[in-house]
Amino acid sequence: MSTAAAALSTTTIKRTTGHTFTIYLKEAKYEFLKNLRLRVYTASVISFPLMFYVLFGLVLNSREMIGTTSVPTYLIATYGTFGVMGASLFGTASGLAADRGLGWLQVKRASPMPPFAYFIAKVILSMIFSAIVVTLLLILGFTFGRVRMPLAEIARLMATLVAGSLPFSALGLAIGYFAGPQSAPGVINLIYLPMSFCSGLWVPYMFLPKVVRQIALALPPYHLSQLALAVVGAGNHDPAATHWEVLLAFTLICLGVARIGFQRDQGKLYG
Amino acid sequence: MIAIPQEAGTPHGNKDTASANAMNLAPVVASLECVSKNYGEVHALRNVNFSVRAGQVVALLGPNGAGKTTAVKLLLGLMQPTSGKARVFGGDPVNPQNRIRAGAMLQVGRVPETLRVREHIDLFSSYYPKPLLLAEVLAAAGLEKLADRKFGELSGGQRQRTLFALAICGDPDLLFLDEPTVGLDVEARRMLWEEIRRLVDRGKTVLLTTHYLQEADALADRIAVINQGAIIAEGTPTEIKAQTSGKRIRCITALSMASLRQIPGVTAAREDREAVEIHAAEAEPVIRKLLSLDSTLSGLEVTSAGLEEAFLALTQDNGQNASRLKEN
């Protein structure tokens, strides 16, 4: 075809569903590989929850009981929540803030990439790393903490925690749209660490001061940890639906904020 | 390349003109129409009209901060003009149908460093319906030996070549190259030039920005010189180069255009309303001759040729770059 004819052609090129699926798959695959090779990410996201678990759940209190649940079992649920939070916040926010601030997102946006592929890839990455952290905690608990639970319970715990990655991925996207490339990790830690403490992820909820316990009720990690604890028989007897509703509402609020950031970004560029 | 059979053109005609005419008939594939773009108080572009025709290489030449990158980003739909319209393939640059036919190389501060060259190319190729083969892309960008290298392990020039590979991997009809050869050594620059020429031979259209006149001259069919957000000159490389030095003499004279053009030192002359405008390398000898030939001559004005200021800025800019390199 001559250039002239090619330039005038108006035939629409429609992607097949299969092609679109391939793009999403590749985007997720390379997002995973990219972060897997990123020492900062894997080290902080995986090793912190594991180190805490080994210290407080296996070395120090492994024979203690909290109610009818052994400490090593109890802490899999809470450090699992802690790990999911870290994997999700760092998996979304720091990459997005850097890509936005330093031009890479523009290269992606100028290409024919479906815009959602970029975000979905980050969410999938967060879920995969959440699953990895929970799996490693379970392996440690089973091997060194005499943790025993039936397969169905393991599956439920895993499903709960991996689903719990979504609210924090949403929060991460919101942070990623409002933090600068350099400040993002700091902002994440400023939210992540106090929230973890106040939600009873480090010190079990009932041992927290009363004020903190009241604050916890407003924090999403508290609700996710209660759902995880309920799976291992150490929940607070509130109906699971309440916890899920809080997490859902939190997710929607964060997505709303992220959307404002997304539009503001276009606005700044589109303005 | 172009559908018009230029070889069969006028037997006495010069080939450049025939080719230029053919170029002017090719359809417009990218254009800015009366585009202004403000960032707050800063006027990045002022009422710019600019178009790229199919099969052409067009260079936007100008110093840093002239508005080159803004023009490219508007054509890529990464921002919207404050007023006016940016069009690609006759439509909105944001339209995915148009994006699929375009490739872009932008200046970028950070590229994911832990992915390998081949992985980056694989991902970007997947966005397009008919991408080139990985081997073709690697060869075109001179990256054959670096395919398994992580981006973070590449030198500056190798990084530029990888970004070039991402721009061409989808085999797009229209290619935007924003300062493609910044940071490349002489050899790598020549290689990239060769590659751009090869793309045009295959019927592709290229818009590139540069602050090197030499680069625009080597590659472009047309050059648009941009300074402080406005296009101050547009033409073939030869026309542009002729304007880069010398003086413009304006006067009202009884002399004919033909006789004006015969005065030694005059490079161009044209009528401008009641006056004439003469272009000359040096003003004084031409003025002496003019006054001796026409005693009725009036309204004499001498100004620098239009591009001098812009090119002074270009020169300074290159000088700054050079000194910055020395510091590093």
Q: Which one, of B84, B192, B73, lies nearest residue B140 by Cα? A: B192
In tens, the pLDDT along A228-254 reads 999 998 888 788 899 999 999 999 999
Task: List Cβ neighbours of B328 (8 Å cut-off, separation of 6 or more).
Answer: none
Answer whether B207's CB lies under 8 Å from B238's CB.
no
Handedness of CA A58, A64, A65, A66 (dihedral sign): negative
The answer to whether residue B142 sits within a structural domain is yes
Residue B17 vs residues B7, B219, B221, B268: alpha-carbon distances, Å: 12, 17, 12, 18
Asked if A110's CB is within 8 angstroms of B111's CB, the reply is no
Q: Taking CA atoms, what residue in B is nearest to A267?
A: B79
Contact B123 A102 (CB under 8 A): no
Would you state the structure tokens that stand for residue A38, as one six-digit string?
A: 């990123």
Report residue A55 as tokens.
């210290």
Same domain, B67 and B112: yes
Q: What CATH number should be reported for the domain holding residue B262?
A: 3.30.70
The reported pLDDT for the residue numbered B280 is 83
**Residue B173, helix vs strand vs coil:** coil
Domain end marker among B207, B235, B263: B235
Domain map of chain A by residue range?
17-270
pTM of the model: 0.81
Min CA distance, B3 vs chain A (Å)? 6
The more confidently predicted of residues A5 and A211 is A211
Share of chain B above pLDDT 90, in %: 49
**B118 plus B178 within the same structural domain:** yes
Cα–Cα dist A195/A216, whole Å: 8
Whether B82 maps to a domain, the answer reads yes
Give the three-class secondary structure for B61.
Answer: strand
Torsion angle of the four alpha carbons B133, B135, B136, B137, in this order, in degrees rounded to the nearest 10: 90
Put simply, whether A181 touches B (Cβ < 8 Å) is yes
Residues B198 and B252 occupy one common structural domain: no
- Looking at A102-239, list the stretches that DSSP marks H as alpha helix, in order from N- to C-terminal side: 104-110, 115-144, 151-163, 165-178, 184-198, 210-216, 220-231
Q: Give the CATH number of the domain where residue B38 resides.
A: 3.40.50.300
The reply to whether residue A23 touches residue B3, judged by beta carbons under 8 angstroms, is no
Q: Is A265 part of the contact surface with chain B (CB cutoff 8 Å)?
A: no
Question: Minimal Cα distance from B120: which residue of A?
Answer: A30
Alpha-carbon gap, residue A54 to A60, rounded angstroms: 8
The answer to whether A33 faces chain B, any CB pair under 8 Å, is yes
Smallest Cβ–Cβ distance between A34 and the set B3, B90, B114 belongs to B114
Strand order in the sheet with B230-235: B102-105, B174-178, B205-210, B57-61, B222-227, B230-235
Q: Which residues contact B262 (CB under 8 A, 6 or more apart)?
A: none
| Chain-chain contact of A102 with B163 (C-beta, under 8 angstroms) | no
Q: Provide the ipTM.
A: 0.88
CA distance A269 to chain B (A): 5
pLDDT confidence tier of residue A199, bands split at 50, 70 and 90:
very high
**Alpha-carbon gap, residue A167 to A169, rounded angstroms:** 6
- For chains A and B, CB pairs below 8 A equal 120
Q: Which of B60, B51, B49, B45 is nearest to B31 (CA)?
A: B51
The string of pLDDT tens digits covering residues B117-173 is 999 999 999 999 999 999 999 999 999 999 999 999 999 889 999 999 999 999 999
Between chains, do A104 and B111 touch, taking CB under 8 Å as contact? yes
For residue B327, tell me if it sits in a domain. no
CA angle B228, B233, B235 (to 5 degrees): 145
Q: Write the DSSP assignment of B1-56 as a string of letters.
A: --SS-GGGS-SSS-HHHHHHHHHHHSPEEEEEEEEEEEETTEEEEEEEEEEEETT-
Cβ neighbours of residue B195 closer than 8 Å, sequence gap 6 or more = B140, B141, B164
Q: Nearest CB to A98: which of B103, B110, B163?
A: B110
Beta pairing partners, B280: B247, B266
More confident residue, B206 or A268: B206
CB contact under 8 A, A111 and B97: no
* Residue range(s) defining the domain that contains residue B287: 246-304
DSSP state of B116: B
- The per-residue pLDDT for B328 is 34
Residue B109's pLDDT is: 83
Q: Mark whether B223 and B250 lie in a shared domain.
A: no
Residue A125: the pLDDT is 95
Of B77, B80, B112, the CB nearest to A34: B112
Instruction: Phi first, then psi: give them for residue B15, nearest 5 degrees.
Output: -65, -35
Residues 6+ apart with CB under 8 A from B252: B274, B275, B276, B297, B298, B299
Of residues A30, A114, A270, nearest to B80 (C-beta): A270
Closest CA to B237 of B20, B32, B3: B20
Chain B partners of A101 at a C-beta cutoff of 8 Å? Answer: 109
Domain count for chain B:
2
Query: In this structure, are B139 and B261 located in the same domain?
Result: no
Please answer yes or no on whether A112 and B29 come within 8 Å at the CB atom: no
Main-chain phi, psi angles of B31, to 5 degrees: -155, 150
Residue A267 confidence class, pLDDT cut points 50, 70, 90: low
Same structural domain, B171 and B94: yes
Mark whether B218 and B152 lie in a shared domain: yes
d(CA A191, CA A180): 15
One domain for residues B64 and B197: yes
- Cβ–Cβ contact A17 with B under 8 A: no
B42 and B82 part of one domain:
yes
pLDDT tens digits for chain B (328 residues)? 334 333 333 334 344 444 555 556 789 999 999 999 988 888 899 999 999 999 999 999 988 888 999 999 999 999 889 999 999 999 999 888 899 999 999 998 889 999 999 999 999 999 999 999 999 999 999 999 999 999 999 998 899 999 999 999 999 999 999 999 888 888 888 989 999 999 999 999 999 999 888 888 889 999 998 888 888 888 888 888 777 667 788 999 999 888 898 888 888 788 888 889 888 878 889 999 999 999 899 999 887 765 655 565 554 444 444 433 333 3
Query: What's the angle, vertex CA B177, arms to CA B172 and CA B183, rounded to 5?
Result: 135
CA A101-A103-A109 angle, to 5 degrees, is 115
CB distance B129–A37 less than 8 Å? no
Same domain, yes or no: B138 and B178: yes
